[in-house]
Structure 1
Amino acid sequence: MHDKKSAFRYYIISIAIFMATMFVGIEKSRANTELKVGTYHCPPFIFHQNSQQYDGLSMVLWQRISEVMKVEYSIQNYELDDLLLAAEKGEIDVGISCISITPDREEHVDFSHSFYETHLAIAVKNRGYLDSFISIITNKTLWKALGIFFFVAISVGAFYYVLERKNNDKLYSMPTKRGRIAEAFILGVLFITKGPFNYFEFKTLSARVMTVLIAMFSTVFIASITAILTSSLTLEQLRFDVKNVNDLSKLRTGAKQATTASLLLADHSIAHENYQTMDELLLALENDEVDAIVDDDAVLRYMIKKGKGKDNFSDLVVLPYQLEKQNYGLVLIENSEYEEDINRALLQIRETTEWHQILLEYFTEK
């Protein structure tokens, strides 16, 4: 009986030693593992000056996570599409940047818990009253419409002048020929803008007949000119009245290529220009190549704030409207063995005072 108890005790101790050895071996294996990390340049979340230097909010977060997990890592920079593809193929273990969690992306890769919540926003070039006035008076459509209007007015005035100048002292009362020509022009303008004169003010039958025909034409003509001018001048002011994504349909709009902003515009059938980098996108707005741009609110505000510190983008403003919520997460390969540890570390870090202080440093307006 004593031998059986000793054997059982020996068996239990052996299993305990084996399990402890396995646990230590796993921990050592993880400690010696070098994770492959992919980054995507997206200030202020990821900056990269060269292949050896990386910084930004997401990099700080990952450094804290790796310290908690006690793992080493190597970094390689990608474009956004290439980073997602590398994660899908298992070429990297983790992708860090300002990458939004979307259902489409979830079909190919996994994500950690969200570490930053933001939304898509619209930025425009703010213009003063003088700039607006100059923009209006230099509007090509305005001058084309005015040209057509005066051409028609002169034509109508000349037509009645030929028919009525010898018979109608009331309409053409000036003593000089130049004065009567001026009266003819005024008659044409008034006829087009105010509608036909009293039928009996014309002396000739031809003029009276044409009065009816031109009256019908002038109604349609004035309505068309008014619509053209209203549309053209409204576009000049619309930049101050953009409240949702549908308002962008009448503006020249830009977005970064392959981003959720570009996809949102495409989903709403809004034609837009795609740009490779954030700097190119902001410069396009600054140089009036586009009227509005769409990107993540946090990124837009940070880049514009930094630009203003260098005397750039002084007229660019982010409008206070939320288009679509965005949640940033770390990209993981599907069924990643590190997902639970990363999420646990991430949630722990998000609750620290240090993390909140870091957020203030990056995003507080100064």
Structure 2
Amino acid sequence: MQAVCHSVLSLWLFFCSLIAVTLPTFASDKISVSVGTYHCPPFVIESETETPIGLSIFLWEQIAAELNLNYEFSHHELGELLDNVSNNKLNIGVSCISITPEREEILDFSHSFYETHLAIAVKQQGHLSTIKNIITNRKLLLVLGFICIVASLVGGFYYLLEHKVNDKLYSMRSNKAQMIEGFILGLLFITKGPFNYFEFKTLTGRILTVFLAIFTTFFIASVTAILASTFTLGLLSSDIKGPNDLANIAVGAKLKSTSSLFLTNHSIVHRTYQDIDKLLTALDSGQVEAIVADDAVLKYLIKKGKEKGDYQTLSVLPYQFEKQNYGLIIENNSPHREKLNRALLRIRKSPGWRHALSEYFAEH
């Protein structure tokens, strides 16, 4: 009996030992990775007391859940984040990080998950500056000059045809006054549209009215579009028509960003700021006249700032250039890259991803 008890006890101890050995193996099935972030609303929105949120954070959380990963977030500035991933101090970098050839040389990227462009933000000018910009706008002056020339031609042609036989349209006695009437007629014709067919006495005048009716329809639409664009840009900054105009003014960009690299590559001297919030503050306080950053980030931050009473005079100009594709940054030769990319592609097709896009960008 004692021998039997001893055998049972030995068997029990064996099973206990086996369980103790295998438990760590099962626990280690969940891989742990270190994840770095940097503040870049609405992709990464950080606070001192709460876990970061944002579109990129949502994407990473979905990927981590699908790949059964353990992770902890740590905050970094952009340059530090790039260096730490390239030096294998971090496994993953999550934020609004543009995929560029220069960065690809030192680290790997996931597939792109969001596409935007670079854009220019400026501070709206005062009323006097706005009026001055509109009045001195070259495009506006050219349009007004063209309108006067066309009005003179149309009015002069009708004057030759009608001034001797049409007392209703040409009621002044002197020829000079009648010529002024002809110019006014031409100006009204091309800005308001054709007159009534029966207002003209000559057959040639009536035939011309029919053809000009077609021409003025397109002419008025074109001039209206040009003037609307000119006045809209006059309210912002008539001096900046695109990135090439930045060379003559004080410009800011975020340190070690693709915006700063773009300006450097185009020989545009600029000031750099540690983060996007300091960059916007510099523009709002007049330290710089324009800033360059990613379009999606600028529009989101300016909109949120205006809701709080800040950045009331800041606007993003309607010029987009230098396409940007965002990806997660991954340490070189990561064994998880293929699995991560497959998970990312699946998540981008999911209803949850579409809902997240709508949540952060629906109002832009």
Q: Shorter-chain TM-score: what band?
A: 0.5 to 0.7
After TM superposition, the structure 1 = structure 2 runs for residues 251-262 of structure 1, keeping only pairs within 5 Å, are 251-262=249-260
State whether residues 248 and 270 of structure 1, in contact with CA within 8 Å, keep that contact through their aligned partners in structure 2: yes
Equivalent residue, structure 1, for 2:322: 324
Question: Aligned to 1:310, which of 300, 308, 311?
Answer: 308
For residues 308 and 43 of structure 2, what CA distance do their matches in structure 1 show? 20
Equivalent residue, structure 2, for 1:354: 352
Can you give the 5+ residue segments of structure 1 that lack an aligned partner in the other structure? 1-23, 137-235
1:228-272 Cα offsets, whole Å, 9 max, x none, are xxxxxxxx9993342321111111111111100011111111111
State whether residues 113 and 327 of structure 2, in contact with CA within 8 Å, keep that contact through their aligned partners in structure 1: yes
Can you give the 5+ residue segments of structure 2 that lack an aligned partner in the other structure? 1-21, 135-233
Equivalent residue, structure 2, for 1:263: 261
For residues 239 and 34 of structure 2, what CA distance do their matches in structure 1 show? 46
State whether residues 35 and 73 of structure 1, in contact with CA within 8 Å, keep that contact through their aligned partners in structure 2: yes
Equivalent residue, structure 1, for 2:99: 101
After TM superposition, the structure 1 = structure 2 runs for residues 136-285 of structure 1, keeping only pairs within 5 Å, are 239-285=237-283
SS across alignment from 2:85: helix
Distance 1:91 1:271, change over 3 A: same
SS across alignment from 2:271: strand
State whether residues 252 and 290 of structure 1, in contact with CA within 8 Å, keep that contact through their aligned partners in structure 2: yes
Distance 1:258 1:319, change over 3 A: same
State whether residues 87 and 333 of structure 1, in contact with CA within 8 Å, keep that contact through their aligned partners in structure 2: yes
Equivalent residue, structure 2, for 1:146: none
Distance 1:56 1:244, change over 3 A: same
Question: Aligned to 1:297, which of 295, 308, 312?
Answer: 295
SS across alignment from 2:358: helix
For residues 254 and 324 of structure 1, what CA distance do their matches in structure 2 show? 17
1:126-154 Cα offsets, whole Å, 9 max, x none, are 23533436999xxxxxxxxxxxxxxxxxx
Equivalent residue, structure 2, for 1:335: 333
State whether residues 124 and 317 of structure 1, in contact with CA within 8 Å, keep that contact through their aligned partners in structure 2: yes
State whether residues 31 and 71 of structure 1, in contact with CA within 8 Å, keep that contact through their aligned partners in structure 2: no
Equivalent residue, structure 1, for 2:36: 38
Equivalent residue, structure 2, for 1:50: 48
State whether residues 124 and 235 of structure 2, in contact with CA within 8 Å, keep that contact through their aligned partners in structure 1: no
SS across alignment from 1:319: strand
State whether residues 133 and 238 of structure 2, in contact with CA within 8 Å, keep that contact through their aligned partners in structure 1: no
Distance 1:89 1:296, change over 3 A: same
State whether residues 125 and 235 of structure 2, in contact with CA within 8 Å, keep that contact through their aligned partners in structure 1: no
State whether residues 125 and 236 of structure 2, in contact with CA within 8 Å, keep that contact through their aligned partners in structure 1: no
State whether residues 36 and 73 of structure 1, in contact with CA within 8 Å, keep that contact through their aligned partners in structure 2: yes
Q: What's the TM-score once normalised by structure 2's chain length? A: 0.63
State whether residues 236 and 317 of structure 2, in contact with CA within 8 Å, keep that contact through their aligned partners in structure 1: no
Percent identity, aligned pairs only, is: 49
Distance 1:244 1:28, change over 3 A: farther
For residues 332 and 273 of structure 1, what CA distance do their matches in structure 2 show? 29
State whether residues 124 and 236 of structure 2, in contact with CA within 8 Å, keep that contact through their aligned partners in structure 1: no
Distance 1:48 1:130, change over 3 A: same
SS across alignment from 1:101: coil
Q: Deviation at 1:28?
A: 5.2
Distance 1:330 1:29, change over 3 A: farther
State whether residues 99 and 326 of structure 2, in contact with CA within 8 Å, keep that contact through their aligned partners in structure 1: yes
Equivalent residue, structure 1, for 2:342: 344
Q: Deviation at 1:92?
A: 1.1
State whether residues 285 and 291 of structure 1, in contact with CA within 8 Å, keep that contact through their aligned partners in structure 2: yes
1:166-191 Cα offsets, whole Å, 9 max, x none, are xxxxxxxxxxxxxxxxxxxxxxxxxx
SS across alignment from 1:321: strand
SS across alignment from 2:341: helix
Query: Match for 2:285: what amino acid?
Result: N
For residues 297 and 28 of structure 1, what CA distance do their matches in structure 2 show? 46
State whether residues 31 and 72 of structure 1, in contact with CA within 8 Å, keep that contact through their aligned partners in structure 2: no
State whether residues 38 and 83 of structure 1, in contact with CA within 8 Å, keep that contact through their aligned partners in structure 2: yes
State whether residues 133 and 237 of structure 2, in contact with CA within 8 Å, keep that contact through their aligned partners in structure 1: no
Count of aligned pairs: 244
State whether residues 93 and 328 of structure 2, in contact with CA within 8 Å, keep that contact through their aligned partners in structure 1: yes
State whether residues 107 and 330 of structure 2, in contact with CA within 8 Å, keep that contact through their aligned partners in structure 1: yes
1:7-48 Cα offsets, whole Å, 9 max, x none, are xxxxxxxxxxxxxxxxx99x9577422111111111111122
After TM superposition, the structure 1 = structure 2 runs for residues 106-145 of structure 1, keeping only pairs within 5 Å, are 106-132=104-130
Q: Which moved more, 1:39-48 or 1:237-246?
A: 237-246
1:61-111 Cα offsets, whole Å, 9 max, x none, are 100001111111111111111111111111111110000000000000000
State whether residues 121 and 294 of structure 1, in contact with CA within 8 Å, keep that contact through their aligned partners in structure 2: yes
Query: Match for 1:97: what amino acid?
Result: S
For residues 273 and 33 of structure 1, what CA distance do their matches in structure 2 show? 42
For residues 291 and 238 of structure 1, what CA distance do their matches in structure 2 show? 11
Q: What's the TM-score once normalised by structure 1's chain length? A: 0.62
Equivalent residue, structure 2, for 1:365: 363
SS across alignment from 1:55: coil
Query: Match for 1:305: what amino acid?
Result: K
SS across alignment from 1:118: strand
For residues 285 and 126 of structure 1, what CA distance do their matches in structure 2 show? 10
